[in-house]
């Protein structure tokens, strides 16, 4: 049997940086052998704002995961939490003339589809084939070898800010790692947490992170839409800190231990101690839990309203079906699933990484769905025509070398 392939994933978020190292077999099974997660620094709303602080956090996470796995990695698949992603669906068509569809015909469609992206100050991150139409037959997954007069393809293009991607890759490169692929966060979360039927019938992944809440819609096995809102769990913590005049650390503790999005009858009677900023720790203020809930609930409602508006304006609301899967650390707030069910008027569940072994209970929850999905993407990119070759050397040798490269790519 062939030796298992070692792969690495790096989820760079606003609240934590997580590194997973795993082994993948030829059958596609993944076993995680190294795990590390560190408090994030230098990242705000999914964008790197302090290069040195972000580099140190990434280096610490990667080094700890490498030590646990007993390996040294050379390349890694990285998540993109911010970058203002923009989705675009294009359709391209080519005449076959009644002959058999060749690999070159498909490559010509893929290359033509990639050219449709608007790359003004942006980079193409994903070029995802959504299916092929062979004459009157629609929804063909692999048309090679079929005879046809006409071949058409639908492709989902995702672009992101060039500066954000360059800053991300620069920080990772400083850790002596090559960025093999970049994957938008909600797409990665969907790959790890959705079952095949959900991807086929239509489902929306809402990845609620620390600095961003991002969305991905899946239909007929492919991602058809993605977007990002610069609001996340950190903003809830900041609201608590301001509303209760307490520190960020204490606000995070209150949110984690007592936070809820839904009022309960007992909330008025349950009292919470809240240390005040700059005052003695032995003289905390006391508030009813209902007051804490009254701070958290409006922010979560606002976030879900923004998600609902994004979906309604996207044009893919009809494809999203009635299924919503919540991932990300911020989705673990008590009552959030019930609130999302009410506000989005859909069936909502909390998603966790599935079909991946080696994850402990503490690292197998919704907060680690994106990191697990990056490993799945490293094993199977689901037919994606890679749009960004971040480590590809420039072609040299003049015009003849470039012409030779074109023939190799298309024939």
Domain assignments of the chain as residue spans, ordered by start: 86-160, 198-353
Checking if the pLDDT of 315 tops 90, the result is no
Among 94, 93, 86, residue whose Cα is nearest residue 117: 86
- Which one has a higher pLDDT value, 82 or 325? 325
121 Rama class: left (phi>0) / alpha (psi -120 to 50) / beta: left
pLDDT of amino acid 360: 87
- Read out DSSP for 245-309? T--HHHHHHHHHHH-BSS--GGGGT-EEEEPPTTS-TTS-EEEEHHHHHHHHHHHHHHHHHHHHH
pLDDT of amino acid 400: 47
pLDDT band at 386 (very low <50, low <70, confident <90, very high): low
Average pLDDT (82-106) is: 90
- Which one has a higher pLDDT value, 132 or 2? 132
CB 218 within 8 A of CB 199: yes
CB 337 within 8 A of CB 351: no
Six token digits for residue 226 = 């993605």
pLDDT band at 4 (very low <50, low <70, confident <90, very high): confident
Portion of the chain with pLDDT greater than 90, in percent: 73
* Beta strands per DSSP E along 25-109: 30-39, 43-44, 47-48, 75-80, 86-95
Mean pLDDT computed over every residue of the chain: 89
Q: Residue 364 has what DSSP assignment?
A: S
Checking if the pLDDT of 402 tops 50, the result is no
Six token digits for residue 301 = 């409602």
Question: Which sign does the torsion angle of CA 230, 365, 224, 219 carry?
Answer: negative
CB atoms within 10 A of CB 84: 15
Average pLDDT (35-60) is: 93
Average pLDDT (319-333) is: 94
Pairing mode, if any, of strands 16-24 and 30-39? antiparallel
CA pair distance 377, 187, nearest whole angstrom: 9
pLDDT digits (tens, 9 = 90+) for 49-90: 999 999 999 999 999 999 999 999 999 999 999 888 999 999
CB 94 within 8 A of CB 26: no
CB 192 within 8 A of CB 364: no
Six token digits for residue 288 = 């009813």
pLDDT of amino acid 321: 87
Checking if the pLDDT of 382 tops 90, the result is no
pLDDT band at 185 (very low <50, low <70, confident <90, very high): very high
pLDDT of amino acid 405: 46
Give how far Cα 48 sits from Cα of 19, 196, 214, 229, Å. 17, 34, 17, 16
pLDDT of amino acid 377: 95
CB 83 within 8 A of CB 165: yes
- Which one has a higher pLDDT value, 383 or 53? 53
Six token digits for residue 355 = 């079909």
pLDDT band at 141 (very low <50, low <70, confident <90, very high): confident
**CATH of the domain spanning 198-353:** 3.30.420.40
Residue with tokens 């008025």: 268
Q: In the sheet that 356-357 helps form, which strands lie side by side, from edge to edge? A: 178-184, 75-80, 5-12, 16-24, 30-39, 356-357
What CA dihedral angle connects 7, 11, 12 and 13, to 10 degrees? -170
Average pLDDT (244-255) is: 94
pLDDT of amino acid 237: 96
pLDDT of amino acid 281: 64
Burial zone of 349 (CB within 10 Å; 0-12 exposed, 13-18 middle, 19+ buried)? middle
Six token digits for residue 109 = 């469609």
Residue with tokens 């998540």: 79
pLDDT digits (tens, 9 = 90+) for 143-180: 999 999 999 999 999 999 999 999 999 999 999 999 99
Give how far Cα 317 sits from Cα of 41, 190, 284, 311, Å. 35, 17, 48, 6
pLDDT band at 394 (very low <50, low <70, confident <90, very high): very low
184 Rama class: left (phi>0) / alpha (psi -120 to 50) / beta: beta
Question: 137: helix, coil or strand?
Answer: strand
pLDDT of amino acid 392: 40
Average pLDDT (110-130) is: 90
What CA dihedral angle connects 124, 126, 130 and 134, to 10 degrees? 50
Tell me the sheet residues that pair with 229: 213
CA pair distance 272, 269, nearest whole angstrom: 10
CA pair distance 251, 274, nearest whole angstrom: 8
pLDDT of amino acid 378: 93
CATH architecture designation of domain 86-160:
2-Layer Sandwich (3.30)
Checking if the pLDDT of 383 tops 80, the result is no
Checking if the pLDDT of 314 tops 80, the result is yes
Among 56, 6, 57, residue whose Cα is nearest residue 34: 6
Portion of the chain with pLDDT greater than 70, in percent: 92
pLDDT of amino acid 3: 64
Checking if the pLDDT of 408 tops 90, the result is no
pLDDT of amino acid 216: 96
* Beta strands per DSSP E along 309-368: 323-327, 347-350, 356-357
Checking if the pLDDT of 122 tops 80, the result is yes
- Which one has a higher pLDDT value, 404 or 265? 265
pLDDT of amino acid 14: 93
pLDDT of amino acid 391: 41
């Amino acid at each position: 049997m062939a030796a298992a392939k070692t792969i690495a994933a790096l989820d760079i978020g606003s609240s934590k940086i997580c590194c997973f190292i795993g082994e993948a077999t030829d059958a596609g099974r993944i076993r995680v052998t190294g795990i590390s997660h560190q408090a994030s620094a230098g990242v705000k709303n999914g964008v790197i704002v302090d290069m040195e602080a972000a580099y140190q956090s990434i280096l610490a996470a990667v080094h700890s995961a490498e030590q646990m796995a007993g390996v040294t990695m050379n390349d890694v698949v990285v998540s993109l939490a911010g970058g203002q992603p923009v989705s675009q669906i294009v359709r391209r068509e080519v005449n076959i003339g009644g002959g058999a569809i060749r690999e070159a015909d498909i490559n010509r469609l893929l290359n033509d589809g990639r050219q449709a992206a608007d790359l003004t100050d942006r980079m193409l991150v994903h070029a995802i084939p959504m299916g092929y139409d062979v004459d009157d037959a629609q929804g063909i997954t692999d048309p090679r070898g079929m005879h046809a007069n006409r071949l058409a393809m639908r492709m989902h293009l995702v672009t992101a800010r060039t500066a954000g991607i360059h800053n991300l890759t620069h920080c990772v490169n400083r850790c002596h790692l090559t960025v093999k692929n970049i994957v938008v966060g909600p797409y990665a979360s969907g790959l790890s947490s959705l079952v095949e039927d959900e991807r086929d019938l239509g489902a929306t992944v809402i990845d609620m992170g620390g600095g961003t809440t991002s969305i991905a819609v899946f239909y007929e096995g492919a991602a058809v839409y993605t977007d990002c809102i610069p609001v996340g769990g950190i903003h809830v913590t900041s609201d608590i800190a301001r509303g209760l005049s307490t520190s960020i650390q204490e606000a995070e503790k209150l949110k984690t231990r007592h936070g809820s999005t839904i009022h309960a009858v007992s909330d008025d009677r349950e009292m919470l101690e809240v240390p005040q900023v700059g005052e003695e720790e032995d003289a905390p203020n006391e508030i009813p839990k209902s007051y804490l809930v009254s701070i958290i609930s409006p922010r979560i409602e606002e976030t879900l309203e923004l998600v609902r508006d994004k979906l309604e304006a996207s044009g893919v609301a009809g494809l999203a079906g009635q299924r919503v899967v919540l991932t990300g650390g911020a989705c673990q707030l008590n009552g959030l699933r019930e609130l999302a069910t009410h506000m989005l008027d859909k069936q909502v569940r909390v998603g966790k990484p599935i079909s991946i072994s080696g994850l402990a209970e503490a690292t197998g929850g919704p907060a680690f769905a994106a990191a697990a999905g990056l490993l799945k993407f490293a094993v199977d990119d689901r037919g994606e025509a890679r749009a960004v070759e971040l480590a590809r050397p420039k072609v040299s040798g003049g015009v003849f070398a470039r012409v030779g490269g074109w023939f190799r790519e298309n024939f």
